[in-house]
Structure formats: structure tokens, C-alpha cells
């Protein structure tokens, strides 16, 4: 499948695997002490960190899906919670984190108000952050792997989601396809800067074109 050959980040040789490796290189260039850091991962999972090139001293993952809390292991503490309205257990907020990390989550939180809340969570929990999100103006929509999907009218996007067999979003009936389309809002660089005005914005590129945005500080 197209997803396996191109967009499966766990498959060596895929474009997604190569892109993830380059992203990790840049992350470690910015934060060479990552292995000694206490990291808050908004929207992440313990499984994602299990195969990471570098494991921080401790990671707290925050995810709405309670299934992610079943995979706790040494050095990783999963919390079921809302990254836009975060309430951590008391013993976790006695000190600030060294870094807030987030990968491909901001486009899913739901509208400007929720994105503003997400950014406030990032700013309030650490002095440093790395927040990545796909770029709205890359020619291929990254969730469906469909060219220009993000620029089509809503009804057309739902129709594509119901029938297109590639990408990360499975085909579904009209109601589920509608929810899937509603749940993704890709951001522009100007929007990213508005949420993270004190950060530098790194453009992750593919074939010379900006593919995703990273707000880093």
C-alpha cells in the first residue's frame, strides 16, 4: 500500500521514516541534553518513545485515549488528559519540565480557541518546547495522502475520505468520514507564529518544499 511504502514511519526506507530521522537529528541539535531532560509530551504515547533514538531521563505523555495508559514502563509515565485543559497529578507539578514536546497534534485539537489553549499549556509548563505540525500549503495532505485535499470544499473532502484507500485515515461511512474531516485543520506559518511568537519556526522540507512546521524555543 501507498501508506506502507511512503508514510509508514516504522518502515526503514519509507519517506516518512527518513523524514522522522531528519527531524530527530534537528531535535538533538537543538537539545543535545535531551537524554537528561524531563519531558512533557502533549498527545504522545509510551509506545512512540519506546523506539526513540534517544530516551529522555523521564517522559510524561498526555493523551485523551485511555488505552495509552496501559503501556507504562520505566522512565515513561502516561497520563489520560486533555492537552488543551491540562490538570496533572500534584506530584508531577512540583517542578517545571525541561521541555514540552508535541508531534502532529496541534492540527487535531479543534479550532483557534483550542489551539490557543494548547499553546498556553506549552508555555506554562516549560521554558523550552518543540511543537511540530504539518504545513497547510504542502501539496499533499499528510493524513489522507491525497493531493490538495485540504483546499477542497468540505463536501468534497468528505467524499474523498469515504473512498480514498491510502493514507492514515480508513475509509468509512458518511457520518464517520464527516467527523474525520472535521477533526483535521492544517496550519499556516503565520498561524503557527501567532501561537508561538517568541519561538523560531523551522520548516521541515521535502523535495525543497516546506512539509511541516516546528515551533522551537
Angstrom distance (rounded) from CA 18 to CA 189: 23
The Cβ of residue 122 has, within 10 Å, a number of other Cβ atoms equal to 26
User: 15 pLDDT exceeds 80?
Assistant: no
Q: 99 and 176 share a domain?
A: no
Q: 93 and 168 share a domain?
A: no
Angstrom distance (rounded) from CA 176 to CA 191: 28
Q: 39 and 63 share a domain?
A: yes
pLDDT computed for residue 90 by the predictor? 75
Asked if residues 214 and 138 have their Cβ atoms less than 8 Å apart, the reply is no
Give per-residue pLDDT as tens, 178-210.
999 999 999 999 999 999 999 999 999 998 999
Angstrom distance (rounded) from CA 34 to CA 100: 11
Q: What is the CATH number of the domain that holds 53?
A: 3.40.50.150
Domain that includes residue 21, residue range: 2-140+185-216
Q: What is the mean pLDDT of the chain?
A: 91
Q: 65 and 21 share a domain?
A: yes
Q: 61 and 105 share a domain?
A: yes
User: 28 pLDDT exceeds 90?
Assistant: yes
Average pLDDT over residues 152-163: 97
pLDDT computed for residue 120 by the predictor? 97
pLDDT computed for residue 96 by the predictor? 86
Tell me, yes or no, if the pTM score tops 0.85. yes
Average pLDDT over residues 41-60: 93
pLDDT band, residue 17 (cuts 50/70/90):
low
Q: 18 and 107 share a domain?
A: yes
pLDDT band, residue 83 (cuts 50/70/90):
very high
Report percent pLDDT > 90 for the chain.
78
Average pLDDT over residues 114-133: 97
Q: Which residues have CB under 8 Å from 29's CB, separation 6+?
A: none
pLDDT computed for residue 217 by the predictor? 96
pLDDT computed for residue 42 by the predictor? 98
Strand boundaries in 90-161, DSSP class E: 99-103, 129-134, 140-141, 146-147
pLDDT band, residue 10 (cuts 50/70/90):
low
Q: 8 and 22 share a domain?
A: yes
Phi, psi of 181 (to 5 degrees): -70, -40
Please count the structural domains in the chain: 2
Place of cell 504515547: 45
pLDDT computed for residue 12 by the predictor? 54
pLDDT computed for residue 192 by the predictor? 98
Mean pLDDT lowest for which of 46-50, 59-63, 161-165, 200-204?
46-50
pLDDT band, residue 91 (cuts 50/70/90):
confident
Asked if residues 82 and 22 have their Cβ atoms less than 8 Å apart, the reply is no
Amino acid at each position: 500500500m501507498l501508506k506502507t511504502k511512503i508514510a509508514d514511519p516504522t518502515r526503514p526506507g519509507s519517506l516518512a521514516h527518513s523524514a522522522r530521522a531528519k527531524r530527530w537529528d534537528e531535535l538533538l541539535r537543538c537539545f543535545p541534553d535531551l537524554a537528561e531532560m524531563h519531558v512533557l509530551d502533549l498527545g504522545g504515547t509510551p509506545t512512540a518513545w519506546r523506539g526513540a533514538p534517544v530516551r529522555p531521563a523521564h517522559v510524561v505523555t498526555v493523551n485523551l485515549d485511555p488505552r495509552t495508559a496501559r503501556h507504562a514502563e520505566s522512565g515513561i509515565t502516561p497520563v489520560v488528559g486533555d492537552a488543551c485543559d491540562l490538570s496533572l497529578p500534584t506530584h508531577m507539578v512540583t517542578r517545571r519540565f525541561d521541555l514540552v514536546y508535541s508531534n502532529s497534534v496541534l492540527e487535531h485539537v479543534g479550532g483557534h480557541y483550542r489551539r490557543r489553549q494548547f499553546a498556553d499549556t506549552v508555555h506554562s509548563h516549560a521554558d523550552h518546547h518543540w511543537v511540530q505540525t504539518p504545513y497547510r500549503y504542502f501539496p499533499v495532505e499528510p493524513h489522507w495522502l491525497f493531493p490538495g485535499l485540504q483546499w477542497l470544499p468540505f463536501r468534497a473532502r468528505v467524499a474523498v475520505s469515504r473512498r480514498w484507500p491510502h493514507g492514515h485515515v480508513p475509509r468509512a461511512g458518511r457520518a464517520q468520514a464527516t467527523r474525520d474531516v472535521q477533526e483535521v485543520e492544517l496550519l499556516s506559518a503565520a498561524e503557527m507564529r501567532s501561537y508561538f511568537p517568541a519561538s523560531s519556526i523551522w520548516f521541515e522540507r521535502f523535495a525543497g518544499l516546506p512539509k511541516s512546521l516546528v515551533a522551537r524555543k
